[in-house]
Amino acid sequence: MAPDTLPGDDVLMAALAAHDLTGLSGLYDRYGRLAYALAYRILGESEAAEDVVHDAYISAWRGAQTYRRERGNPRGWLLSIVHHRAVDVLRRKTTFRPAPLEVAEQKAADEDTAAMAERNVEQQTVREALRNLPEAQRRTIELAYFGGYTHVELAELMGVPLGTVKGRMRIGLQKMRRALDGSRS
Amino acid sequence: MTEHVSDDLELYALGALRPGEADRVTAHLAMCPACREELNEVAAVVNALPDMVPLREPPAGLKQRILSAAAADAAAARSALLPSRERAWSIRPTRAWLPVGALAAVAILLLALDLNSLNELRAAENQRAEYALIADKVSHGGRNWYMVGLDQWQGSGGTLFAPGKPDLAPFVVFHDLRPLAGGAMYTVWLVDADGHWVRGANFAPNRDAIQSVELSVPVDAFAQCAVTIEMQTSGKRSGPLVMQSRIAPGP
């Protein structure tokens, strides 16, 4: 079913919590591509990304009754499960992790035009907000979120104190928040 | 209540804390509405980060794989709710201890290669051809790993044996397996270090207190073994995880 003809997220979540497969199916139709894109972005390989998305949706299926709307929307809840699982898989691998910024730039160039055209204004705003950050802040946020690096690893990788890593994340996210709030008002 | 975690919320939301540190923050958040509120604001920004990523079409079969797994999960949950008289692990409580004793004896045997223990095991269980066969296989030495039942499968378990004799296939001795409903089956998997799952065997539980299942794949190249509940006899893993263990590298 096309994502825009599906019931609202809260309706799908209620179905999921009742162990109704239509809820799971609807959430996949709406967020499956984004979930897979995120997992692929973190892991860099299709098979592992597929397994992560599979496991994340099954985890959502089992844990839907623990979901609380006041702690975030279904999209954020689902994507956070995908993110945690993908990072877990990444950290278990012993192979070298490439710098996410370089990988992102490579993959962005590969994106097809039709897919790009589907992204709405807010999504473009996020991209702009991150790209407009000073490089150190942007790189710190990207390496943490997409590269799965812990703050201790980041401090070592970037040759800065732990407090600097934390500060870059805080200031960078605050700037992004202001940019997003500005675009919504 | 523990100290507020405001300073760590960005790290937490980005997933940049180490596991123990994240656990501490999670524990605090469970008790602190103020920190939860603050986290929600940070998370709203972090949850927008996936929008940075170019969309990518998932593999065609992924949706069906997820839905099949969820259906199998539901079937397994229904099996767990079957009346106790229908559950193999509870209808013969005295027999249920036999495989535990047998496995313990086998484990001791493998550690010490004590032929006396093997003979005792055979003597005690000589009426059961299954036990005798298992005892024969492990008498050649080898290695073994125990998989413990997870979640609603607690109480079930299985020991994967890699016999020391090269021409013997690896096998798993299960105990207290729950019956399955709706055409579901148990599947034994071997998982390599890169996370690739290889199907080693499909089987239906025979309702005996102990059940031996031979694998079609040698275990040497793998890092983990696992059992799931599946609806299909081939294809990728999609069902719920029943039990799992690491496989230590060979000598």
pLDDT of residue A104: 43
CB pairs under 8 A between A and B: 162
pLDDT of residue B103: 62
Question: A114 pLDDT exceeds 70?
Answer: no
CB neighbourhood size of A39 (10 A): 33
| Residue B247 binned pLDDT confidence (cut-offs 50, 70, 90) | confident
Give tens-digit pLDDT for B88-116.
443 343 445 555 555 655 554 455 445 55
Give tens-digit pLDDT for B65-78.
999 888 887 777 66
Record the tokens describing residue B34, joined without a space.
């103020």
Query: Residue type for B105, please?
Result: A
Using CA atoms, how far apart are residues B159 and B123, in angstroms rounded to an integer?
Answer: 21
Question: B240 pLDDT exceeds 90?
Answer: no
pLDDT of residue B193: 78
Q: Which 67-96 residues of chain B touch chain A by CB within 8 A?
A: 67, 69-71, 73-74
Mark yes or no for CB contact A48/B195 under 8 Å. yes
pLDDT of residue B152: 78
Q: With an 8 Å Cβ cutoff, is B50 touching chain A?
A: yes
Percent of chain B topping pLDDT 70: 73
Q: Average of pLDDT values for B222-244? A: 88
| Residue A1 binned pLDDT confidence (cut-offs 50, 70, 90) | low
Mark yes or no for CB contact B50/A80 under 8 Å. no
Instruction: Judge if pTM exceeds 0.80.
Output: no
Mark yes or no for CB contact B74/A107 under 8 Å. no
B18 → closest Cβ in A73, A150, A170: A150
Q: How big is chain B by its Cα radius of gyration, in Å?
A: 23
A71 → closest Cβ in B40, B52, B70: B40
Reported ipTM: the value is 0.85
Using CA atoms, how far apart are residues B145 and B172, in angstroms rounded to an integer?
Answer: 9
pLDDT of residue B34: 92
Query: Residue type for A125, please?
Result: T
Percent of chain B topping pLDDT 90: 24
